[in-house]
Structure formats: structure tokens, C-alpha cells
Amino acid sequence: MEITLNWYLTLSALLFTMGVLGFLFRRNAIVMLMCVELMLNSVNISLVALSQSMGDTAGQILVFFVMSVAAAEAAVGLALVIAIFRNKLTIDVTQINLFKY
């Protein structure tokens, strides 16, 4: 059976949906950040598959930049989690509701 581009795109869509589901379902702020990483990764899969099947390097350069932004996002996000934990002693996002209502 020939593995075509469609399979990579379908896998990417499935993983992206799982990331979205996890982000909406989970209450732990760190696990939510991990789900964001999963979403970024699934987009990377489709970018690399498309770039390789078209023989164009631009997609992989974009993946390189997405990874850098993901690293920056993880660093700042985890720093925010630490700062919130200092104040509230919890990282349950349903308990962090100072700005709600």
C-alpha cells in the first residue's frame, strides 16, 4: 500500500484535534501548555509532508521557525504558571478566576 500525502495530512488533523480536545478538557495549566505543543507539532507534520512532496524547502524553514516560537512560548508560559502558583498555590485553571465575571 502506497503511503501518500493524504495519510500525513490526516494524521496531522487527528493529532491537532486531540490537542484541541486536551486544551479544552484538562484543568491542569501545565498539561494545557503541553496540548499547545501537540497542536504545533501536528501542524509541523503537515508542513514537512507538503514541503517534501513538493520539493520546496520553504515549508521546512517555516517548521524551524515554528519550533523556535514554540520554545519561546513554552518558556514564557511555564514562567507564568510558576508566577500564578506563587500567588494562588494551584494551577487548576477553574480556580484561577480573578478576572471572571
Partner 1 sequence: MTASILFFVLATVAIAAALGMLISRNPVNSALWLILNLFCVAGLYLTVNAEFIAVIQVLVYAGAIMVLFLFVIMLLNLAALPDLKRVEWRRFIAFFLGMGLLAMLMFVMASSLEMLPDPVSLETAATTGSATELAKVLFTRYAMPLEIIGILLLAATIGAVVIAKRKPV
50-69 positions binding partner 1, by CB under 8 A = 51-58, 60-61, 63-65, 67-69
Minimum CB separation from partner 1 for residue 96, in Å?
Answer: 12
Binding to partner 1 by residue 96, rule CB under 8 A?
no
Binding to partner 1 by residue 13, rule CB under 8 A?
yes
Minimum CB separation from partner 1 for residue 42, in Å?
Answer: 8
Q: What secondary structure does DSSP assign to the chain, as a single string?
A: ----HHHHHHHHHHHHHHHHHHHHH--BHHHHHHHHHHHHHHHHHHHHHHHHHHT-SHHHHHHHHHHHHHHHHHHHHHHHHHHHHHHHS--BTTT--TT--
The one among 38, 96, 97, 98 contacting partner 1 by CB under 8 A: 38
